[in-house]
Amino acid sequence: GAVVSQHPSRVICKSGTSVKIECRSLDFQATTMFWYRQFPKQSLMLMATSNEGSKATYEQGVEKDKFLINHASLTLSTLTVTSAHPEDSSFYICSASPGLASDTQYFGPGTRLTVL
């Protein structure tokens, strides 16, 4: 099956710093990538949808200036958490889809962000 990687798997940073998380589709071209946030023992909450070469679409309540998403190529999307604060600590998951016609999303292994 298709593989999606995320880097880093874990990151600890100080409050006020920015953190970048990468999501890569390793063996297919991802027209669309999705970013989710997951709190312990809760479901996945969609943060934003990004299409290659265009601006991301953010879900209601998600600060676009806080969570910067870039989808510069068909195999790479990045999520940058700017000026991170302890409340941004969470598990972030990306998924990738080969195209609009695809009903399949391939998930990355997730990134654990801890902000001190």
Contact between 89 and other proteins (CB under 8 A)? no
In whole angstroms, how close is the CB of 16 to other proteins at the nearest point?
Answer: 27
Contacts of 55 (CB under 8 A, 6+ apart): none
107 binds other proteins (CB under 8 A): yes
Contact yes or no for 9/109 (Cβ under 8 A): yes
Give me the least distance between CB of 82 and other proteins, in Å please.
24
Residue that has been written with the tokens 């312990």 in this structure: 40
Is 16 one of the binding residues for other proteins (CB under 8 A)?
no
Q: How many CB atoms lie within 10 A of CB 30?
A: 29
Least distance to other proteins from the beta carbon of 115, Å? 19
